[in-house]
Structure 1
Amino acid sequence: MVRHSRVDIIKPDQLNAEDVRVWQGFMAERDDLIGPYFDVRYVMAIGQSVPKAFVARLYDGDRIAGYFPFQRRGRTIQPLGAPLTDYHGIIGERDLEVDFKALLKSLGAQHLVFQGWVGPMNPAARTTHHIRRIADLTHGYDAWFEAQKAEHHKFFKNIGRCTRNVEKDFGGFEFSWEMATSAIIEWIIEQKRLQYKRSGLHDVFTCGWTLTLLKTLADYQDQGFGLRVGVFRNKGDLVAAEICLVKGDNLHFWFPAYAESYGRYSPGILLSMRIMQHVEALGVKRVDFGCGGEQYKHVLTTPERACLEGVVSSVPSVGEMLLDQLVEILPVMKHRIKNVRLSLRRRFNIIQACEVSASGWLKAMGGTARRALSRAANDQAA
């Protein structure tokens, strides 16, 4: 067992060649740190775009035992790139044991908030378990398709109907697998912002730095790593597009979007399947859909490893206490309190991650509180 004994804090652009070598060595020995978010190139690419971005070097004596990329938000720290970084954890030796309260003290923080933690966590942390959803293309796209179709016949029958309707009405959509240009990123973000507005969720792109992060990452191209976009067009017009993050034979679906006028054809699902068919021929073996609750993900994937959402604190969290008080005054049934609390905590964490100015934070929190009270009142009236 390895215990960290001290911590150095550096900026992401201060990672040197030796850091890269050691980091990649940790990745090679850890089969749970799968995918692009744990890659040192991801951290180096986005580091200058993220406000108050740092990397903690964890030492065992004089030897580096691990790294933790993070961002500082007051007395709270979050994994670097939150809320956009879907998975995170400490990139370190397999048997590294971290004293998280000591780590918080070393980093000058009181709380660590996370949404997709992979690896060991403090048993005292308040956590919710989620399951990563994976499409396994190891035996090819056709084998994946037949296996999922056998399990979810009705869904794939409906998808077949959508495909025929696209052929009948448009002669099919033109598919392309492209570099992520500023123009296509901006189109996707425009659709996402409309979606946030309709749903009442916080717009994660209002703050500005999150869009800069995507564009900076798009400019960072390395062997077997970077952003790519799958696109459907109809006579030159954009129908649907999905930003993907690729590392070797792993692909992570990141930001999907489609034009509402094509909604009845399920273009987002059709595009995801077309992307998988295309990248399987390029050597991709594993497609990560994240751990969100959308039903289509459960149909197109199989469960893999668990990840954690939650908070670990060295002192009582004011934010958690405020959430408790807000939940208490909401007119909701007691059996719904847990879900309401989790929803509010997620919104609070997203706002805290995005909004680094006091005015932006206050505006976003005020809007969230008003929506929560309005929705709870409507639910009670119903």
Structure 2
Amino acid sequence: MRVTVVRPGELGEPELARWRELQRATPSLDNPFLSVEFALAIGRLRSYVRVAVIEDGGKVVGFLPFERHAFGIGKPLGTWLTTCHGLISVPDLAIPAREILRACRLSVFDFDHMVAGQPTWEPHESAVRPVPMMNLTGGFDAYIEHVRAGSPKNYKTVRYKERKLAREHGEIRLSWCATDPEVMRTLTGWKSDQYRRTGRVDRFAQPWIVELIDEMHACDTPSFGGVLTMLYAGDTPVAGHFGLRTHNTLVGWFPAYDPEFARYSPGIMHHLHMAEQAASHGLGQVDMGKGGREYKAWLKNDVTHVAEGRVSRPSAAAAVHWIGRAPVNKARDIVVDRPSLYRVYDKVLKGFGRVRTSLQPEPVEKEPSGAR
């Protein structure tokens, strides 16, 4: 086998077509974060993005999009921004991971959302975790009946809150594939506020991420596109989501809601309406991403799996990287595996967010131009 490393923008039309062909042929690769359009977009915005093109007998058999950082530290494409990574290849491609690292000039490669079971990465998997899915292949009615039967109390509560919201604020409706940039700004504003309130890093404080989101929002092809949804009560937006889709799968990415409506559980309400619209537009599943949120447990009716692990080649850089990362990864695994600890972790972060917000100086109002 031969491995060539290029920038995404250097791929020619035959390679782009081959990437799409390989992805479409394997159900486990049906995720927009594995689509070539996503790799091209990040490649235009980040100089460290590369693609390993794998050939066998002169024929392209696989692609690995990745990030190459200083000291040969390798990361999956969009590592902390996305929820799925993988080798886009022919089924059961058997190329040793260290051979790929050597060709890519990488000392170490950490992953935590790798498509589980790929022969290249499977020997290096340290954990395999479920990803909750909303399977809509049987239609929305079949899906919602599963939710109602599995969690009757939760379902009844959400529908009660929906009726109450409608009575007090107006008819409930969902806008699918909203194109207005102001709707996107409303959503990202809520999300930035949520990040600050919960002690997380505000991703939208980075201009390149805002640019990426805007580019994805404008993309709409049969096999890939951005989907912006917004739930309204009357004319008032209360909850929204921006995600990416393939021809069959919508992936959760940035959900948020107006905290003034929190008592109505608008986020869960939005998910149900979004699933209904996804099914009506021919999508077969909604990937909610792995994580400790309890609402995912009763909204799911299917799962897929992603893997965590690490590959390294003998080097000083790999050793230093392991020393720095091992305690963090161990602590994260302990929290993820124990819902009670996750709730404590989430509570602590929210407390930190409240303190951080309270310490921010009040904005100073500027005098109008010409005022004395």
Q: Shorter-chain TM-score: what band?
A: 0.7 to 0.9
Q: Which amino acid aligns with 1:9?
A: V
Q: Choose from 321, 324, 328 the match for 1:322.
A: 324
Instruction: Give the C-alpha shift of residue 17 in structure 1.
Output: 1.6
Query: Per the alignment, do residues 323 and 23 of structure 1 end up closer, same or farther by CA in structure 2, a change over 3 Å counting?
Result: closer
Is 1:50 the counterpart of 2:46? The answer is yes
Distance 1:27 1:123, change over 3 A: closer
Which of 37, 56, 62 aligns to 1:66? It is 62
Question: Is the counterpart of residue 11 in structure 1 residue 10 in structure 2?
Answer: no
Q: Relative to 1, partners in 2 of residues 1:310 and 1:63: Cα closer, same or farther, differing over 3 Å?
A: same
- Of the candidates 34, 40, 53, which is equivalent to residue 38 of structure 1? 34
- Does the Cα contact within 8 Å between 1:179 and 1:227 map onto a contact in 2? no
Tell me how large the CA RMSD over aligned residues is.
2.5
**Distance in 2 between residues matched to 1:342 and 1:14, nearest whole Å:** 41
Partner of 2:99: 102
**Cross-structure match for 2:199:** 200
Task: Answer whether contact 1:131 1:303 (CA < 8 A) is retained.
Answer: no
Greater displacement, 146-155 / 48-57 = 48-57
Q: Paired residue for 2:138? A: 139
Task: Provide the TM-score with structure 2 as the length reference.
Answer: 0.82
Q: 2:77 aligned with 1:76, yes or no? A: no
Counterpart residue type for residue 284 of structure 2:
K
What is the distance in 1 between the residues matched to 2:6 and 2:189? 35
After superposition, what is the alpha-carbon deviation per residue over 1:258-292, rounded to whole angstroms, capped at 9, x for unaligned? 01000010111111111111221221221211122
Q: Which amino acid aligns with 1:190?
A: G
* Matched-pair contact (CA < 8 Å) for 2:135–2:302: no
Tell me, yes or no, if the aligned pair for 1:181 and 1:218 is still in contact at 8 Å: no
Separation of aligned partners in 2, 1:115 and 1:21: 28
Deviates more, 1:184-193 or 1:260-269: 184-193
CA contact (8 A) 1:68 1:89 kept: yes
Is 1:284 the counterpart of 2:283 in the alignment? Answer: yes
Distance 1:194 1:29 in 2: 40
Q: Structure 1 28/178 Cα, relative in aligned 2: closer, same or farther at 3 Å? A: closer
Change (3 A) 1:99 1:139: same
Looking at structure 2, the residues matched to 191 and 299 of structure 1 have their Cα atoms a distance apart, in angstroms, of 25
CA distance in 1, matches of 2:183, 2:149: 35
Partner of 1:158: 157
SS at match of 2:28: coil
Instruction: State the distance in 2 between where 1:170 and 1:306 align.
Output: 40
For residues 1-382 of structure 1, the aligned pairs below 5 Å read 5-74=1-70, 75-118=72-115, 119-122=118-121, 125=124, 127-315=126-314, 316-324=318-326, 338-340=330-332
- Consecutive unaligned residues of structure 2, counting only runs of 5 or more, are 337-348, 356-372
- 1-side partners of 2:180 and 2:68: how far apart? 29
Cα deviation digits, residues 137-167 of structure 1 (max 9, x gap): 1221111111121111111111122112112
Change (3 A) 1:181 1:150: same
Contact 1:49–1:216 (Cα < 8 Å) also in 2: no
Unpaired runs of at least 5, structure 1: 328-336, 345-367, 375-382
* Offset, 1:124: 5.3
CA shift in 2, pair 1:322/1:21, >3 Å: closer
Counterpart amino acid of residue 146 in structure 2: A
Percent of residue pairs bearing the same amino acid type: 26
Shift of residue 183, structure 1, vs aligned partner: 2.5
Please give the alpha-carbon distance, in whole angstroms, between the structure 1 residues aligned to 2:202 and 2:321.
20
Partners in 1 of 2:95 and 2:178 — Cα distance? 39
* Distance of 2:68 and 2:207 partners within structure 1: 17
TM-score scaled by length of structure 1: 0.80
2:51–2:63 contact (8 Å) kept in structure 1:
yes
> How many Å apart are 1:25 and its aligned residue?
2.6
The Cα shift of 1:77 comes to 1.7
CA distance in 2, matches of 1:340, 1:133: 19
Quote the Cα distance in structure 2 between the aligned partners of 1:235 and 1:259.
Answer: 14
- How far 1:298 moved relative to its partner? 1.2
Aligned pairs, number? 333
Residue type at the aligned position of 1:206: A
Q: Which runs of 4+ in 1 moved over 6 A?
A: 341-344
Q: 2:250–2:283: 8 Å Cα contact kept in structure 1? A: yes
Output the CA distance in 2 between the equivalents of 1:181 and 1:114: 35
